[in-house]
Chain A
Amino acid sequence: MASIWLLQFPSLPFQHRVSSNGTSLLLHHRHCLCQRLNWIPLTPNRTFSMRAIHDSMSSEEDKVVDTAKSTLVVADSKHPLALFQESITSLPPVVFLMKNCPKNYFTMGLCITIAIMVVTLRAYAERKSSQSNPGSVADLVRRGQLRSDRRGISRPLKYDDPFNNPLVKVGKSNSTVEMCGKQYRLAPVTLTEEQQAIHQKRRSRAYQWKRPTVFLKEGDSIPPDVDPDTIRWIPANHPFATTSSDIDEDLAQNNVYQQRGVPFRIQAEHDALQRKLEALQKEEKLNNLFIDSRNAKDFQRPFKLNDRSVEPVEQGPINNSRIETKPAKPELASDSIESKISSDEMQQP
């Protein structure tokens, strides 16, 4: 980083006053300047003068006066701004520029400003790069994959309640609030109970409404004991205009209050399915008694045989076989008994 020389002590046109008041004033100005110069690296030929001044600050007034006389050029009482200006113009680069371009103060000021900006930007960029570490766990936190408070990367938000948030800064008089970079003023609520009552009365006069309890469709007659204000007419094209008689209210209420067990409809469907299965099993058993052993297909398709026997005769040429099978039923019955006996014999090892 380039060092910038602000002041050059040997060329400081200081003048020292003998009077005590002037000494203290001038010494005060020098003290201010010296404090600012503490960080400037000193050249050997300047060290003595700087140290002398510093020593002169800490010692008594007489000593200060003596040392100041021996090392410094006492300056006349000039305005501090003029002194500052003179000190800037005494810098070597400034002197060089002034010699080459004596009247180009604007360019000089511009160069100094640009230099300061470059230094600031470099410092900011260095700070930024030191904070962000690409590809670190901080990126995972930023993306929401990890919680920051668990990682200890950021401190979790702590406050007693939402009304005591550290992000919200309340002013000393409690009438101003600073939040998210904006300034707010606290305005008290002015609504009184009397005003609330006035509004309630106004609304009760303006809106007279009764909850509808009877819902009628077009064409329905009005029940005699019902308040007309509680009747709501449902238009025919209303999307939800289903009649309430479709729903059993008692059953619905029981369904809502049910806390354990299988829900009613599921249980009912299960029971119905169970009954159907049992009925089918019974029919299957009956059908097994009517199987014709002479025709192997009858074993494979007992239901079809059953259907053929059940279907009516009116259907045309297909029914011919059915007509033939119908009178053979008593024969089939005896045959089925025989087939059962034979099948039992076949099953014996």
Chain B
Amino acid sequence: MFSLQLFSANPNPFLRPKPYPKSKRTHVSSVLQWNRKPELAGETPRVVVITSGKGGVGKTTTTANVGLSLARLGFSVVAIDADVGLRNLDLLLGLESRVNYTVVEVLNGDCRLDQALVRDKRWSNFELLCISKPRSKLPIGFGGKALVWLVDALKAREGGSPDFIIIDCPAGIDAGFITAITPANEAVLVTTPDITSLRDADRVTGLLECDGIRDIKMIVNRVRTDMIKGEDMMSVLDVQEMLGLALLGVIPEDSEVIRSTNRGYPLVLNNPPTLAGLAFEQAAWRLVEQDSMKAVMAEEEPKKRGFFSFFGG
């Protein structure tokens, strides 16, 4: 695969990634040219759980794209797929052939934690950790403790603590959900502008608040501005009014998501970027700075052109 290079008008030591202890220093590179970097807010490592309640709204897609966006911004990221039975974050990232060990093997003593971490060759400061392989089991009630140990071990590792630990939560509010939210300090709720997703999102938000997670922000996914304009879909402001959560991002419906899943290449890496990819990047930026959206875009009728506009007037 090709290597990407990070250009900066002002060389900044923050732009260089933390060196990995047992390998030669790798240069993090990006196709996009940055002149400034977002300022990291909050204490590191920031443990963020991406949840939704309802399945199929885009949690795993959000985890993959936001995680890689953070890595491109120069932060060290560890993404954990906390779905014990149905693992698919590795598929979205295109790393399915490189997952040999999971957390179950680490707990059993078959490998160390650093051996179970899969480092992305495209971005050396992005690592993936899967909880289990599809046929293995984790005892109910034990997963939460295991995840807490994992986060502590990642904080204490020799290569340095990661800046972000992003946990992809499974659907539902069962044992998998409890496992995933155990070590988290903040949450990103992914929802779509339909009533079923909103009801589940509201319940999940209630459970998160009961568990002590107060910093909860929302990403509204699969937004169709044309349907909102035609009053066939709830607007983002309507969603916000129902849930009462700060907006981290609004992701438009994009067919490129499916293509990127097929390729195992997250769409934030596309050049030129797609609309959804740009939206994910912006959401990652706001996550770093603990910011939220101040305005949303509503589609309008295009302005009518005069007769002479045909001639270039």
Enumerate chain A interface residues (CB-CB to B < 8 A).
147-149, 156-163, 165, 167, 176-177, 179-191, 195-196, 198-200, 203-204, 206-215, 232, 234, 238-244, 246-247, 249, 251-253, 255-261, 263-266, 268
Stretch of B42-50, B56-64, B102-110, B161-169 on the interface side: B102-110
- B209 beta carbon closer than 8 Å to chain A: yes
Contact with A along B296-313 (1 / 0, CB 8 A): 111111110000000000
Interface string of B270-310 (1 = CB under 8 A from A): 01110100100110010000001111111111110000000
Nearest CB to that of B175 among chain A residues? Answer: A240
- Complex CA distance for A103 and B292, rounded to whole angstroms: 71
**Selected contact of B206 from candidates A206, A241, A247, CB within 8 Å:** A206
Interface stretch, picked from B74-82, B92-100, B146-154, is: B146-154
CB <8 Å contact, A252 and B32: no
Are A211 and B178 within 8 A (Cβ)? yes
Would B157 and A184 count as touching, CB distance under 8 A?
no
**Bound Cα distance A20, B144 (Å):** 96
The 8 Å CB contact of B296, one of A187, A199, A238, A265, is A187
Count of A-B residue pairs with CB < 8 Å: 199
Residue in B85, B112, B178, B303 whose beta carbon sits within 8 Å of that of A258 in the complex: B112
Listed by A's residue number, 17 A-B pairs whose Cβ atoms lie within 8 Å are A147-B31, A157-B33, A187-B298, A189-B292, A195-B241, A200-B244, A210-B210, A213-B141, A238-B140, A239-B85, A241-B140, A242-B139, A252-B107, A257-B152, A259-B112, A264-B109, A266-B110
Interface contact A190-B237, CB-CB below 8 Å: yes
Q: CB of B243 within 8 A of chain A?
A: yes
Contact B145 A249 (CB under 8 A): yes
Instruction: Judge whether B137 and A232 touch: CB under 8 Å.
Output: no
| Closest B residue to A167 using CB positions | B272
Q: Does the CB pair A259–B244 fall under 8 Å?
A: no
Quote the shortest CB–CB distance from B252 to chain A (angstroms).
10
Q: A163 vs B297: C-alpha distance in the bound complex, in angstroms?
A: 13
User: Contact between A156 and B297 (Cβ–Cβ < 8 Å)?
Assistant: no
Within 8 Å by CB of A160, from B36, B141, B247, lies: B36
Q: Is the CB of A259 within 8 A of B158?
A: yes
- The answer to whether A189 and B294 have CB atoms under 8 Å apart is yes
Q: Which of B31, B38, B210, B245 contacts A157 (CB 8 A)?
A: B31
Q: Which residues of B contact A (CB under 8 A)?
A: 2, 31-36, 38, 84-85, 106-115, 137-142, 145-146, 149-150, 152-153, 156-158, 175, 178, 182, 202-203, 205-207, 209-211, 225, 237, 240-241, 243-247, 271-273, 275, 278, 281-282, 285, 292-303
Residue picked from B139, B182, B203, B296, most chain A C-beta under 10 Å = B139
Contact A185 B158 (CB under 8 A): no
Chain B residue nearest in CB terms to A180: B275
**Alpha-carbon gap, A224 to B142, bound state (A):** 22
Collect the chain A residues with CB atoms within 8 Å of residue B113's CB: 256-259
Separation of A215 and B272 alpha carbons in the complex (Å):
51
B127 to chain A, nearest CB (A): 15
Residues of B within 8 A of A261 (CB): 112
* B302, A182: Cβ atoms closer than 8 Å: yes
Chain A residue with the shortest CB-CB distance to B273: A157
Which A residues lie within 8 Å of B278 (CB)? 162, 165
Query: When the two chains form their complex, are residues A187 and B295 in contact, meaning their CB atoms are under 8 A apart?
Result: yes
B115: which A residues are within 8 A, CB to CB? 263
| Partner of B297 from A149, A186, A246, A266 at Cβ < 8 Å | A186
Interface pair A177/B206, CB less than 8 Å apart: no
B175 touches A257 (CB 8 A): no
Enumerate chain A residues within 8 angstroms of B2, measured Cβ to Cβ. Answer: 147
Question: Please, which residue of chain A has its CB at the minimum distance from the CB of B274?
Answer: A180
Task: Please report the C-alpha to C-alpha distance between residue A136 and residue B281 in the assembled complex, in whole angstroms.
Answer: 33
- A147→B299 CA distance, assembly (Å): 34
Contacts of A195 in B (CB 8 A): 241, 244
Contact present for B109 and A240 (CB under 8 Å): no
**B285→A209 contact, CB < 8 A:** no
Among A206, A212, A242, A256, which residue has its beta carbon within 8 angstroms of that of B137?
A242
